[in-house]
Homo-oligomer: A and B are copies of this chain.
Amino acid sequence: MNKKRTTIKDIANVLNISPAAVSKAMHDDSRISEKTKKAVKRVAKELNYQPNHLASALRSGKSNLVGVIVPRTNSNFFSSVIENMEGVLNKAGYNIIITQSNESFEKECKNIDTLLFTQVDGIIASMANETVDLSHYEKIKSKGIPLILFDRGENDLNVDYIGIDDYDSSHMIIEHLISKGCKRIAHIGGFRRTRIFNNRIRGFIDAIHKHNLPHDDDLIVESSLTLEDGRIKMQELLALDNPPDAVYVASDYAALGALQVLNEQNIKVPEEMCLVGFGNEPFTSLVSPTITTVKQHSKQIGKIAAETFIKRIKAKNWKPKLEKNILKSELIVRNSSNRDLSIKST
């Protein structure tokens, strides 16, 4: 029962040098001879030395841990972002702690406390739907550790941000729908208080105006964008005196709910109603009809977020110039909007 871990002291004893020399040898300090370095590394391997992360973190003030906060992990988008973030961070010697807010403001605050308590070197987060008060994020900033936001961000916080161009995405969608002959387009959006949803709504309205389509307030609704919200809002839209001939939903989950209602009411998609979602969740290609949606480049977002963190850590002199990475999104046209123009036309 060999409970005792090997420490640098043990290595030092074997080689009759000081623990300090061992520590420096392990870090390839220039003031240690190659011979000693070789010997130290050999003995370290022989004794199966595993550095005590806590001790080095305590001494150096660095934990080599990055905290990640996402609304939930069981979304394809977030899980893909995390996977790619992890790849970059692991290579740079960082490990990540993933926490979920479940879209709850309270849980998000707790997560931040947990992460700060764990002495993470930085936090990469995507805000919960509920979040309006930003004081807990200010807390991170005031500690002086890097904070990077992605997808769900907030301009007021004045921190690095990586996301897609939501405003432009709305334009892409509207132009696609117009090209499919749609004349009266509705938008089931998220709440305006969240930046990305506000941008999507602004993009929607501006694109509508640009192309001289009717701007009817009844056609723009806000919700939490759950599947159930999608159902309810779709029903409301269908009950209008003058219902739309296309719906752009700001989330795939809500789009699915809308699709269910359309199927139930025997409204043919895309013939009678075009439908577009957002996020490219896997199920969009599995349901019938398959749903046209927007790909958010989760891989790049993850990588860039991680790289931005590393830049911030390396730049000791906290430069105020912020990274605002806005990626172009990609429209994935599927059956829910891909109707034959030879029948209906311009």
**A interface residue numbers (CB < 8 A to B):** 1, 3, 50-55, 57-58, 63, 65, 72-76, 78-80, 82-83, 86, 90, 95-100, 102, 110, 114, 116-119, 144, 256, 260, 263, 282-283, 286-288
Name 20 A/B residue pairs within 8 A (Cβ), A-sorted: A50-B117, A51-B117, A52-B119, A53-B119, A54-B57, A54-B63, A55-B58, A58-B58, A73-B74, A73-B79, A74-B76, A86-B99, A90-B110, A95-B118, A97-B97, A98-B98, A256-B286, A286-B287, A287-B287, A287-B288
Check if A73 sits within 8 Å of B65, measured CB to CB. no
- A118 partner residues in chain B, CB cutoff 8 A: 53, 65, 95
Give Cα distance in the complex from A86 to B57, angstroms.
Answer: 25
- A97 partner residues in chain B, CB cutoff 8 A: 95-98
- A80 partner residues in chain B, CB cutoff 8 A: 74
Give Cα distance in the complex from A50 to B78, angstroms.
Answer: 30
- A86 partner residues in chain B, CB cutoff 8 A: 99-100
Give Cα distance in the complex from A97 to B67, angstroms.
Answer: 9
Give Cα distance in the complex from A80 to B58, angstroms.
Answer: 34
Give Cα distance in the complex from A54 to B61, angstroms.
Answer: 9
Q: Report, nearest first, the 10 A-B pairs whose CB atoms are least far apart.
A: A74-B79, A73-B73, A98-B98, A54-B58, A283-B283, A54-B57, A73-B79, A97-B97, A95-B114, A74-B76
| Residue in A83, A282, A286 with the greatest tally of chain B CB atoms within 10 Å | A286
Once A63-B54, A95-B118, A286-B256 are accepted as A-B contacts, the answer to whether A144 and B3 lie under 8 Å apart by CB is yes
